[in-house]
Amino acid sequence: MAQKIILDPVTRIEGHLRIDTRVDNGQVIEAWSKGEMFRGFEALLKGRDPLDAPVITQRICGVCPVSHAIASCKAIEAANDLRVPANGHLLRTLVLAANYLQSHILHFYHLSALDFVQVEALLDYAGRDPVLLDLRHWAQGELNSNRVLPVAPFLPKLPGDYPGNREWNLGALGHYVEALDIRQEAHRMAALLGGKIPHTATLVPGGLTLLPEAALLEDFRTRLRRVKRFIENCYIPDLLLAARLFPAYAETGRGVERYLSYGAFDEAGGSWMPAGTVRHEGYAPLDLSLIREETHASFYRGNLQESPQAAAAPVPQPDKPGAYSWLKAPRYDGLSYEVGPLARLKVAAAAGHRPIAQALAAFLREAGLPEHKLASTLGRHAARALEALLIAERMERWLDQVDPAAPAIAPHNNRMTGTGVGLVEAPRGALGHWITLAAGRIGSYQCVVPSTWNFSPRGQGQDPGPVEAALQGTPVNPDFQGLEVARVVRSFDPCIACAVH
């Protein structure tokens, strides 16, 4: 008999997400991804000074503010024909990359790994590692107290098949603590060039207001090396161990197998990771005119299929019949596409980027993950880990290329008119800001955000969004209360604060 599993709220994410599933015969038959909040950034930007846009849109999210700042700056630059100097691109790229490292490490250790870790392994820890001993004492104290929620954030948790492997359990818990420090280092790197973080102060249309001295760049490099060592010595080995321990998760979460990337990390000659789309027919270059946002199943007035450039801020209608999410449904050529680290690597490999394709193939061999299983729950975690390593390696080169004597910002022309689009790859995938400027004011503003793509509800043709599709076929044990569903969902790294904006 069909049954429902509902996760409400999905915890350890940013924003408010509910997942409904219909389960039959021990498998998810159908799923609904429900954004449970309304925000309205696009509406409040209308009529404001364009220079407010990077400041305000960064506040969409504290996890990926740099991406919103850059997308916003690029949209204004495109409208005004502002040419950012090479140094400005490089410095922005470094701030963005530092934010990626912070975000990917956050996602693995602090948001996702606990789905797979038996935290009770702490309680009989008898070794000498001071971090684990501290954690054990703290956990025991919490359990002996009469608090309603003991040992948060580790407990309470969904019941499930947590593994008995001590190396994994204790390693992940110890690295959970170490990763807090490492994320702080990555934040410091972003703040060195961004002025502050989250929500930078130096990223403005035209480039960067700060020209770093050599000593600041060396400070950045020292911190980068520490973060990189953590990725090499903890993140990558933990991921490889997870791949050995959880082979079943290479069999779940396949998804729509269509991927889109705007091209990541601006360098002098274009983006380092290429832009494009991948589907069964293979690689195709990007055609922005094919993007539409549909509102068929969204709590917004009308049944729209709008180009972001033409779209007005959506009008909320919480009682709309048939609607179930505050996210819109972005479609490319009428189809849903997955975005994020997996999509970026797939697009890069399919576009013929040999170094990335080779690194991906070698990593998959080491993880024992066949290429055709990369589209999976485990594959998304693997892609994110490998991407973190590749970015950390590439950052040294970008640092070398910064010229402290060259300009980092273009002079403003104060025209502030016209239309523009700013495209960026945020940690979670393809991010676009579309702006229309009229008489020095924002006429319209439209963000199409990574988690909007991935967590989109059904579109015009009742076709599921990428996460909804990825959940289909997931085997579930009724006693686990949806743990398997949570694992698939979190592999996409949801941010519903961004997705609804």
Residues lying near ligand NFE in the complex (CB under 6 A) are found at 14, 61, 63-64, 67-68, 426-428, 431, 449-451, 495, 497-499
In the residue annotation, 495 being an active-site residue is answered as yes
Pick the closer one to Mg ion by CB: 490 or 501.
Answer: 501
| Structural element, H or E, at residue 167 | helix 166-194
Least distance from ligand NFE to the Cβ atom of residue 68, Å: 6
Residues 459-478, one symbol each (x = binds Mg ion by CB under 5 A, - = not), give --------------------
In the residue annotation, 234 being an active-site residue is answered as no
From the list Mg ion, ligand NFE, none, pick the one residue 476 interacts with, judged by a Cβ distance below 5 to 8 Å according to partner type: none
In the residue annotation, 64 being an active-site residue is answered as yes
In the residue annotation, 451 being an active-site residue is answered as yes
Query: Which range binds Mg ion by CB under 5 A, 89-97, 103-111, 202-210, 439-447?
Result: 439-447
Pick the closer one to ligand NFE by CB: 136 or 346.
Answer: 346
Least distance from Mg ion to the Cβ atom of residue 310, Å: 13
Pick the closer one to ligand NFE by CB: 409 or 431.
Answer: 431
From the list Mg ion, ligand NFE, none, pick the one residue 450 interacts with, judged by a Cβ distance below 5 to 8 Å according to partner type: ligand NFE
Would you give the DSSP letter of residue 409?
B
Pick the closer one to ligand NFE by CB: 99 or 169.
Answer: 99
In the residue annotation, 199 being an active-site residue is answered as no
Q: Rounded to an integer, what distance in angstroms lies between the CA atom of residue 65 and that of residue 197?
A: 8
Q: Does 45 bind Mg ion (CB under 5 A)?
A: no
| Structural element, H or E, at residue 73 | helix 65-80
Pick the closer one to Mg ion by CB: 87 or 436.
Answer: 436
User: In the structure encoding, which two tokens stand for residue 56, read together?
Assistant: 């305000």
Least distance from ligand NFE to the Cβ atom of residue 241, Å: 26
From the list Mg ion, ligand NFE, none, pick the one residue 20 interacts with, judged by a Cβ distance below 5 to 8 Å according to partner type: none
Q: Does 347 bind Mg ion (CB under 5 A)?
A: no
Q: Rounded to an integer, what distance in angstroms lies between the CA atom of residue 440 and that of residue 443?
A: 9
Q: Which residues, numbered 224-283, are part of the site for Mg ion (CB under 5 A)?
A: none
Least distance from Mg ion to the Cβ atom of residue 314, Å: 7
Strands 418-426 and 207-208: unpaired
234, 342, 349, 447: residue in contact with Mg ion (rule CB under 5 A): 447
Least distance from ligand NFE to the Cβ atom of residue 168, Å: 27
Please return the burial class of 126, using the count of CB atoms within 10 Å of its CB with bins 0-12, 13-18 and 19+.
exposed
Read off the amino acid at residue 274. P
At a CB cut-off of 8 Å and minimum separation 6, what does 2 contact? 22, 23, 24, 29
Q: Rounded to an integer, what distance in angstroms lies between the CA atom of residue 491 and that of residue 430?
A: 16
C-alpha 193, offset from chain centre: 22
Q: Which residues, numbered 130-159, are part of the site for Mg ion (CB under 5 A)?
A: none
Candidates 279, 428, 433, 487; catalytic one: 428
Nearest to 348 by CA among 265, 431, 278, 395: 278
Pick the closer one to ligand NFE by CB: 115 or 425.
Answer: 425
Nearest to 389 by CA among 241, 231, 226, 274: 231
Candidates 72, 271, 451, 491; catalytic one: 451
Q: Does 431 bind Mg ion (CB under 5 A)?
A: no
From the list Mg ion, ligand NFE, none, pick the one residue 239 interacts with, judged by a Cβ distance below 5 to 8 Å according to partner type: none
CB-based burial, 62-78: b 16+ in 10 Å, e otherwise: ebbbbbbbbbbbbbbbb
Least distance from ligand NFE to the Cβ atom of residue 432, Å: 9
Q: Rounded to an integer, what distance in angstroms lies between the CA atom of residue 20 and that of residue 126?
A: 42
Question: Does residue 154 come out as left (phi exceeding 0), alpha (psi in the -120 to 50 range) or beta?
Answer: alpha
Q: Rounded to an integer, what distance in angstroms lies between the CA atom of residue 343 and that of residue 354?
A: 16
Q: Which residues are catalytic?
A: 14, 61, 64, 68, 428, 451, 495, 498
Contacts with Mg ion by CB under 5 A lie at 447
